[in-house]
Each structure stands twice: as structure tokens, then as C-alpha cells.
Homo-oligomer: A and B are copies of this chain.
Amino acid sequence: MNPPTAPRIKRLLLTGAAGNLGRVLRPRMKRHCETLRLSDLAPMDPAGEGEEVVPAALEDAAAMLALLDGVDAVLHFGGVSIEKPFETVLPANIVGAYNVYEAARRQGVKRIVFASSNHVTGFYSQGETLTPRAAPRPDGFYGLSKAFGEDLAQFYFDRHGLETVSLRIGSCWPVPTDRRMLSSWLSYDDLERLIVAALSAPVVGHSIVYGMSANRSTWWDNTPSSHVGYRPEDSSEPWRAEVEAAQPHVDPSRPEVRCQGGGFVVLGPFPFAGQE
């Protein structure tokens, strides 16, 4: 890996530090800041050198205000990261996102890297190529909450000058494991490159970038966000033969194959709150 560089940030906050991507990012982000503040509702490993560990719930506005104190930039990876009933997504991803942004505004934070998701546009076909300007077609409550987060980021930039790069993250796993991920895969190294670019670009306003590696095929064209400076270096290609052998046939007439959101587009509807 070509280690990316960026101006070291004094105090960088990572929310969702106990989550899948949070745990991947924790050791990697240390080299890009002096102090890495880590927060989650779930248990986290104790603070190492240059780390601060602050348990907090995203839906707790006061806790968020405290959490953002003294912070220079935020990687907002906290919240629900898979499709769940609206009642579950609401406090973590909608109220939580608001709390983070409002606290950031009050604490004078200058930039947020927001973990949005490709599920914001999950109902587009895999037979078309989107740019970050594509209008949302969320494929579930999770995607809907991420669309909300992007609009929130746009508002805080327009109204308060707080800058955000929203990352519409594809499939961020150790390796690609199915046909869909040959297109949507984002390697951990490329995720780091993407975050470093998002933190170090001098001016971003509110920019949206799809988070994928330099895969041979992809549904996303980041050209309109070239100013962010993300250049992936990995690719799903080395896993292609293996993946195609394991899943030689797919049926494009099925929504979960046809749509970019994959299996998410057929999840739910979940039981109706308070009824069942």
C-alpha cells in the first residue's frame, strides 16, 4: 500500500468506533491525527496512546455536545449500518446525525466525513452508471436515513459553513465475496485513502463521493467530485475468477440482482410499530 498522507489533525473524532468499519479505522486513523477520540455505545477497547475513549449514545444530544468538545474534525461512522425497522433507524441515524451536526456547529468543528451509503441510490439498476449528482432512490429505511444525513450536511454547509464529504460507501469488506461486490467493493486501504482525501482537500463544501475501489466494472462515476482527490488503488479483479466460479449465474429479472442495492431492495416491510 502506498501510505496516504494528510496534514495531521489535532483531535479527530471517530463515531461508531466499535462497529465493523470503526474497528478497521481505529488503528489506521492514528497516523493522521495527534489525538484520536473514539466513541460508540457498544464496548470499545481501552484507550491506547494518543487515544481517548468516550462511550456515548448518538441520540443523547447533551452527550454529543460534550463529545464534540475540542474536536477538529469528525468521522461520523456511528449508527445503524444495515437495513432495520424505521423505529430502530430513527434514533441512531436521524436524531443521531442531527445531534452530531448541531454539536459540531456549536463546538466550531470545521469538517465532517459522513459515512453515507450506496443504499441512498439502491433502487437504480445495475445496468446504469451514476454520478454523485444522481437523485436519491433509497432502498430501505437505512438508505433513507443516509439520504437525510446528506441533506443535513448540505444544510449545515449552506447555513453555517460546516463542510462535509459524504461517502456513499459500497461494500467495504476484507475481500469481495459475490458478483455484486465485484462492482461495489471498497478495500480497507481505499477506504483509508478516501477518508484522507476527504479530510485533506482544502475546499469541499458539501461533496458526495461513492466509496469503491478501482474495480473493473462499477456503477458509479466520481468524476464530478474529482476535487476531493480520491484515487483508489485496489481492485476486485483478483477475486473475480473465484467469485464468478462460485456464483456463475445470476438472474437479472430478480430485483435483488437488477438493483444496485442488492439484497436490501427486497428486505422488509418490517412489522408495523405498535401493531404487531
Contact = CB atoms under 8 A, between A and B. Distances in A.
A135 B138 contact: no
Interface in A128-183: 128-129, 133, 135-140, 143-144, 147-148, 151-152, 154-155, 158-161, 163, 179-180, 183
A212 to B, nearest CB: 10
Give the residue among A159, A161, A183 with the most B Cβ atoms within 10 A.
A159
B221 A226 contact: yes
Nearest to A242: B5
Interface in A172-220: 179-180, 183, 197, 200-207, 215-220
Nearest to A223: B221
Contacts of A143: 155
Given A159-B123, A203-B257, A221-B223, A61 B273 contact: yes
Contact of A135 (B133, B201, B258): B133
A258 B203 contact: yes
A62 B6 CA distance: 51
A253 B125 contact: no
Identical chains in the assembly: 6
A227 interface: yes
A245 B7 contact: yes
Contact of A139 (B6, B140, B152, B159): B159
A261 to B, nearest CB: 10
B61 A244 contact: no
A228 interface: yes
A248 to B, nearest CB: 4
A226 B218 CA distance: 6
Contact of A275 (B61, B139, B268): B61
Contacts of A127: 163, 203-207, 227
Contact of A159 (B95, B183, B265): B265
Interface stretch (A18-26, A36-44, A45-53, A98-106): A98-106
27 contacts: A61-B272, A61-B274, A62-B274, A62-B275, A65-B275, A94-B94, A102-B272, A123-B159, A125-B205, A126-B203, A128-B205, A129-B227, A133-B135, A144-B151, A160-B269, A183-B227, A197-B216, A200-B244, A202-B250, A203-B250, A203-B252, A203-B258, A204-B252, A217-B229, A220-B226, A221-B226, A223-B223
